[in-house]
C-alpha cells in the first residue's frame, strides 16, 4: 500500500466556489489519478470512483457513519458549536444517517414507518394541487424565477405543512433548513457558527413545542408520525433524538429536492426537444428524473470515518480519517457510465446512480423526492409551452456548498397553455 501524493492536483480546491459550481473537471482529474484525493485544507480523503464509493457505502464496519456533522469546521470550532447548542437548545446527537448498526436499525425502522410508499401515494394528489397553485401565480406573466417561485416552494410547502407550518411560512422554513446544513456546507469562524446556530435554535424551539403538541394531539402529518412511530415494546424518540432526525429530514427533503427540480428544468431549457418527448409520452418521466439525479447529483457528498487503516485505489487511508464520499463524481465515472458527461435518459443503467446512496443508509425520503420531481416537472409541462431561458445566468451559477449542488437562480420564459 502507498500514500500517494497529489502534486499534479495542487491547483484543485473543493472549497473554491468556482470549483463547487463546476466540479466535474476536478472530479475527472482525481478519478484519472489517483482516484482518492487528500484535501490539504481539511485532511479529508475524497473518494471519487464508482466502485470505491460502493465499497465505502456498503461497508459501515470500516467506513463508519458516526461523523460529526460540523467536522468541516475543525475540532476547536466544532466544539464551540456543540457547546453553544447544548447550552441554549439541544446538541447535535448522532441519529439515523450518522449512526451504524445496530443503533441505526432502530432509527431506520421508526422512520421507515413514516416514509412509506403508501403515504407518498396518498400525498401525490396534494403535490399536484400544490404545483398547479404555484403555477397559477406566474403563468399569465409569461416568465418566472423558477428556483424562488417553484423549485423552492414545491417541496418547501409540502414539508412545511407536514411540520405544522402554514404554506406562507416557507421562507422561515428555508432559513431554518439552510442553517441546519451550513456547518457541513461551508467553513465559518466561531462567531459565524454561533450566529448560524441562533437560527437553528429558533427552529429547535418551534419543533419542541410542535412535538409536544402532536404527542398530545396527533394529526395526519410527518411530525405526528415521528412522535408516535414507536411500537408498544419500543421507547419513543427523546426530544434530542427528534430534533436530530428532523434536521436530517429537513436537509434531505427540502434543499436537495429543490436542487434537483432546478437542474431538471435547466436540462429541459438546454435541450427543448426533451419537453416534447415528455409531453408526448409522460411515462419517460421516471427515466428522466433518474438521469437528472445522476447527471447533476443534488447531494454532491456526505462523510464517513474510517475505523481501521484501509486501501482504496492504491491509496492508504489511515484509521480515524474523514472520508468525503463524492456521489457527484461517482455518477460521472466513465468506468461505470458510458459518455458520462452526456445527458441520456435512455442509458441502460440509468437506475444505477448513487444519488440516493446505497446500502443500509439508502435515502429514506427517495420515494417522496421522486414523486415531487416527477409530478412537479410534468405539471409544468402540462401547463406551459416553449419553456426557455429568459436571460443568461451570472457566473458562478451554483450556490457555493461543499455538500449540495443547487442553482442560484433560473429565470425562465414560456407561453401559458389555454385552459381546457
Domain boundaries, the chain: 7-416
Q: Which pLDDT does position 57 carry in this prediction?
A: 94
- 182-205 tens-digit pLDDT: 998 999 999 999 999 999 999 899
- 126-151 tens-digit pLDDT: 999 999 999 999 999 999 999 999 99
Q: Which pLDDT does position 2 carry in this prediction?
A: 43
Q: Which pLDDT does position 249 carry in this prediction?
A: 77
Work out the percent of the chain whose per-residue pLDDT is above 90: 65
Q: Which pLDDT does position 167 carry in this prediction?
A: 66
Residues 6+ apart with CB under 8 A from 230: 110, 236, 237
Q: Which pLDDT does position 97 carry in this prediction?
A: 66
Residue pointed to by grid coordinates 442553517? 179
Q: Which pLDDT does position 7 carry in this prediction?
A: 55
User: What are the angstrom distances between the C-alpha of 118 and each of 121, 124, 373?
Assistant: 5, 10, 17
* pTM of structure: 0.90
Residue 236 confidence class, pLDDT cut points 50, 70, 90: confident
- 352-365 tens-digit pLDDT: 999 999 887 788 88
Residue 233 confidence class, pLDDT cut points 50, 70, 90: low
Q: Which pLDDT does position 336 carry in this prediction?
A: 98
Q: Is residue 231 predicted with pLDDT exceeding 70?
A: no
Mean pLDDT lowest among 55-69, 107-121, 378-392: 107-121
Q: Is residue 117 predicted with pLDDT exceeding 60?
A: yes
Q: Which pLDDT does position 5 carry in this prediction?
A: 44
Residue 372 confidence class, pLDDT cut points 50, 70, 90: very high
CATH number for the region 7-416 comes to 1.10.630.10
Q: Which pLDDT does position 374 carry in this prediction?
A: 98
- 241-278 tens-digit pLDDT: 888 888 877 776 678 999 999 999 999 999 999 999 99
Amino acid at each position: 500500500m502507498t500514500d500517494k501524493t497529489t502534486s499534479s492536483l495542487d491547483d484543485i480546491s473543493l472549497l473554491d466556489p468556482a470549483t463547487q459550481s463546476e466540479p466535474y473537471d476536478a472530479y475527472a482529474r482525481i478519478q484519472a489519478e489517483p482516484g482518492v484525493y487528500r484535501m490539504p485544507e481539511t485532511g479529508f480523503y475524497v473518494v471519487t470512483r464508482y466502485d470505491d464509493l460502493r465499497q465505502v457505502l456498503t461497508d459501515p464496519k470500516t467506513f463508519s457513519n458516526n461523523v460529526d456533522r460540523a467536522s468541516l469546521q475543525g475540532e476547536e470550532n466544532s466544539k464551540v458549536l456543540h457547546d453553544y447548542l447544548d447550552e441554549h437548545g439541544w446538541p447535535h446527537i448522532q441519529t439515523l444517517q450518522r449512526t451504524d448498526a445496530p443503533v441505526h436499525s432502530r432509527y431506520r425502522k421508526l422512520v421507515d414507518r413514516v416514509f412509506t410508499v403508501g403515504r407518498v401515494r396518498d400525498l401525490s394528489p396534494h403535490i399536484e394541487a400544490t404545483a398547479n397553485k404555484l403555477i397559477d401565480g406566474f403563468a399569465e406573466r409569461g416568465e418566472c424565477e423558477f428556483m424562488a417561485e417553484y423549485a423552492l416552494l414545491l417541496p418547501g410547502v409540502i414539508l412545511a405543512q407536514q411540520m405544522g407550518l402554514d404554506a406562507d411560512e416557507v421562507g422561515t422554513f428555508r432559513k431554518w433548513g439552510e442553517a441546519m446544513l451550513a456547518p457541513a456546507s461551508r467553513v465559518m469562524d466561531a462567531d459565524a457558527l454561533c450566529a448560524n446556530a441562533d437560527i437553528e435554535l429558533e427552529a429547535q424551539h418551534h419543533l419542541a413545542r410542535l412535538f409536544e403538541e402532536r404527542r398530545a394531539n396527533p394529526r395526519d402529518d410527518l411530525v405526528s408520525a415521528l412522535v408516535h412511530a414507536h411500537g408498544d415494546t419500543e421507547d419513543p424518540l427523546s426530544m434530542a433524538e427528534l430534533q436530530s432526525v428532523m434536521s436530517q429530514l429537513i436537509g434531505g427533503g427540502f434543499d436537495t429536492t429543490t436542487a434537483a427540480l432546478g437542474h431538471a428544468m435547466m436540462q429541459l431549457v438546454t435541450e427543448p426537444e426533451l419537453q416534447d418527448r415528455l409531453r408526448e409520452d409522460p411515462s419517460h418521466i421516471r427515466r428522466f428524473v433518474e438521469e437528472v439525479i445522476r447527471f447533476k447529483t443534488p447531494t454532491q457528498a456526505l462523510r464517513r470515518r474510517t475505523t481501521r487503516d484501509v486501501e482504496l485505489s492504491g491509496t492508504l487511508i489511515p484509521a480515524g480519517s474523514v472520508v468525503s464520499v463524492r456521489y457527484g463524481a461517482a455518477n460521472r465515472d466513465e468506468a461505470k457510465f458510458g459518455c458520462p458527461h452526456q445527458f441520456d435518459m435512455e442509458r441502460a443503467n440509468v437506475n444505477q446512480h448513487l444519488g440516493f446512496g446505497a446500502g443500509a443508509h439508502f435515502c429514506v425520503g427517495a420515494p417522496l423526492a421522486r414523486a415531487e420531481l416527477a409530478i412537479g416537472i410534468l405539471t409544468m409541462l402540462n401547463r406551459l409551452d416553449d419553456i426557455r431561458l429568459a436571460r443568461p445566468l451570472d457566473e458562478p451559477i451554483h450556490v457555493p456548498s461543499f455538500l449540495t449542488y443547487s442553482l442560484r437562480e433560473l429565470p425562465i420564459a414560456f407561453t401559458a397553455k389555454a385552459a381546457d
